Amino acid sequence: MTFTAKNRQIPERKVKMADQEKEILEEEMEQDLSDAEELKEEETEDEEPVSKEDKKAAKKQAKLNKKEDSYKEKIDQLEDRVKRQMAEFENFRKRTDKEKQAMFDTGAKSVIEKILPVVDNFERGLATVPEESKEDPFVDGMNRIYKQLMTELENIGVKPIEAVGQEFDPNLHNAVMQVESDEYESGVVAQELQKGYTYHDMVVRHSMVGVVQ
């Protein structure tokens, strides 16, 4: 077959068309690749939408949260320490008040012990006054002083111990003799030889008594 110029143009057109199709395919491929890259970037953005500024802010916030947690822990420790110190101080205050009260009571008891013999002498002296002399101004004055003394002792917590007619109590009574009695049963105090006293439920002096045998 003889190829003419016209016949030669046919393959050239095909080549050109093929080249054009290739170019088109390459362009489409590039476009597809471009679209794929864009889609990948969009997916990446969807997965990690945080920018650098946001990452810095998040990192800074994380540090602040960590510091805040650390501060809260220190505050809790300080509050616990303050509570323990307050409890220790309250216990110390109570213990100190108790010790001070005990020291005061001991001192008061010592003073009361020295006053009681004076009270005994008042009672002995007034008991010996004849009936016809009880209206005497001097006797009346002594009786008033005695009553005032007993009132003041009672005001500070000093009270006489009940003895006669009460069951013998070694914590309150000091039995110095046994007596016979038709009025009281055995083990009951029938006679008081010396009056006893308490100070705020603490025995200052036991009652000296006679107990029915």
* Domain boundary assignment for the chain: 60-156, 158-213
Number of neighbouring beta carbons within 10 Å of residue 196: 21
Match domain 60-156 to its CATH number in 3.30.70, 3.90.20, 1.20.120, 3.30.750.
Answer: 3.90.20
Query: What is the C-alpha to C-alpha distance for residues 110 and 116, in angstroms, rounded to an integer?
Result: 10
Q: Which letter does DSSP use for residue 129 in this model? A: S
Q: At what angle do helices 52-127 and 137-155 cross, to 10 degrees?
A: 160
Q: Is the pLDDT of residue 175 over 60?
A: yes
What pLDDT does 8 receive? Answer: 47
Average the pLDDT over each of 1-5, 29-33, 53-57 and give the range with the smallest value. Answer: 1-5
101/3: higher pLDDT:
101
- Answer yes or no: is pLDDT of 14 > 60: no
In the DSSP assignment, the letter for residue 213 is -
User: In this predicted structure, what is the pLDDT of residue 1?
Assistant: 46
d(CA 166, CA 184): 9
Inter-residue long-range contacts of 171-175, CB under 8 Å, 24+ positions, other chains counted: 171/203, 172/196, 172/198, 172/203, 172/206, 172/207, 173/206, 173/207, 173/209, 173/211, 174/206, 174/207, 174/208, 174/209, 175/209, 175/210, 175/211
For domain 158-213, give the CATH number.
2.30.22.10
pLDDT at 144 over 50: yes
Q: Are 212 and 190 in contact (CB under 8 A)?
A: yes
In this chain, the answer to whether the domains covering 60-156 and 158-213 adopt an identical fold is no
pTM here?
0.56
Residue partners of 116: CB distance under 8 A and separation at least 6: 197, 204, 205
